[in-house]
Amino acid sequence: MILYILYVYINIILPISLADSFYCFDLLALLTMSAQRVDAKVVMLGKEYVGKTSLVERFAHNRFFFGPYQNTIGAAFVARQIQMGDKVLTLGIWDTAGSERYEAMSRIYYRGAKGAIVCYDLTDRSSFLRVKFWVEELQKCEEHCKIYLCGTKSDLIETDRTMRQMDYHDVQDYAEEIKAELFETSSKTGKNVDELFQKVAEDIYNSTTFQLMTEEKGVDLGQTNNSYFYSCCHN
Ligand SMILES: Nc1nc2c(ncn2[C@@H]2O[C@H](COP(=O)(O)OP(=O)(O)OP(=O)(O)O)[C@@H](O)[C@H]2O)c(=O)[nH]1
């Protein structure tokens, strides 16, 4: 009985009583995730302000927020279905906080991910340093997770070419070196956003491990309901 009380205290009461909104929102996101069946986990990584949340918003809801920037706290979760021929694949996407304050938490979210979208801001060279950090981390800890490099805010460099701080070919060379795919996107205009997630979904769908998993567990990919739920974690 004492052990049971101790267990409840350590695992439920203590985290909640210590919690700031970060823990509460994370709990909400975790509950959301557990309520939704997903076929594969995808994680968004990258420095703060690079546009991870905007990318997910564009993909999941086809919208872009023009309002003031709100940094993600902990992580947010969204599930979205993608049509793959006559089948439907449900991606569970974890949008992590870019702030280094939450770095340890981000590690929880890439565990078991089939794909990682590692973002950098095309107009901010320093954001690419974080890309290298996350790539090394993934190579070390999640070797089966496929990496997609994503240069964000391409609309800004289309308006003014001098704003580009990361050369496409330099990044492409790096992508080849680490066997990653490279996309340049704009969440503002929607350019390349669907293409990026479609590629992630296709690679997962065609992967041997995924095919084996669906055969063994009998996951039904033939569902047609396109509902999704988004748990948003902003301060
Ligand atoms: N022009 C332009 N601005 C963008 C684009 N994507 C994001 N932004 C802006 O960049 C800022 C940061 O975007 P977020 O999506 O919140 O960035 P984030 O990477 O999720 O940030 P954290 O939550 O702190 O990790 C916001 O002011 C966005 O409006 C884009 O494609 N084009």
Instruction: For residue 69, report the distance from its CA to the centre of ligand 1, in Å.
Output: 7
Q: Report yes or no on 166 lying in a domain.
A: yes
Which is it for the CA torsion 178, 180, 182, 186, positive or negative? Answer: negative
Q: Report yes or no on 16 lying in a domain.
A: no
DSSP state string for 34-48: HHS--SEEEEEEEST
pTM: predicted TM-score of the whole model, two decimal places: 0.82
CA pair distance 154, 199, nearest whole angstrom: 19
What values do phi and psi take at 165, rounded to 5? -115, -10
Q: Report yes or no on 169 lying in a domain.
A: yes
Provide ipTM, 2 decimals: 0.99
Q: Report yes or no on 14 lying in a domain.
A: no
Does the pLDDT at position 167 exceed 50?
A: yes
pLDDT in tens, 209-227: 666 666 665 554 544 444 3
Q: Report yes or no on 224 lying in a domain.
A: no
Contact 119, 106 (CB under 8 A): no
**What total of structural domains would you count in the chain?**
1
Q: Report yes or no on 3 lying in a domain.
A: no
Q: Report yes or no on 51 lying in a domain.
A: yes
Instruction: For residue 63, report the distance from its CA to the centre of ligand 1, in Å.
Output: 12
Q: Return the ligand 1 atom nearest residue 46 CA.
A: 19
Give the H or E element holding residue 230.
Answer: strand 230-231
**What would the mean pLDDT of 151-166 be, rounded to a whole number?**
98
Closest CA to ligand 1's atom 15: 51
How many helices and strands (H and E) does the chain possess? 10, 7
Instruction: For residue 49, report the distance from its CA to the centre of ligand 1, in Å.
Output: 5
Least confident of 9-23, 144-158, 177-191: 9-23
Instruction: For residue 116, report the distance from its CA to the centre of ligand 1, in Å.
Output: 18
Please report where in the chains the tokens 């023009």 appear, as a residue. 66
What values do phi and psi take at 115, rounded to 5? -145, 145
pLDDT in tens, 33-72: 555 678 999 999 999 999 999 999 999 999 999 989 999 9
Instruction: For residue 13, report the distance from its CA to the centre of ligand 1, in Å.
Output: 35
**Which of 22, 49, 94, 131 maximizes ligand 1 atoms within 8 Å of its Cβ, making it the mutation to test the pocket?**
49
Please report where in the chains the tokens 């340890």 appear, as a residue. 104
Report residue 149 CA to chain centroid gap.
Answer: 12
Closest CA to ligand 1's atom 8: 51
* Domain range enclosing 180: 35-209
Q: Return the ligand 1 atom nearest residue 186 CA.
A: 31
| Residues flanking ligand 1, CB < 6 Å | 46, 48-54, 69, 71-72, 97-99, 152-153, 155-156, 186-188
Q: Report yes or no on 22 lying in a domain.
A: no
Q: Which CATH number belongs to the domain containing residue 134 in this structure?
A: 3.40.50.300
Closest CA to ligand 1's atom 17: 51
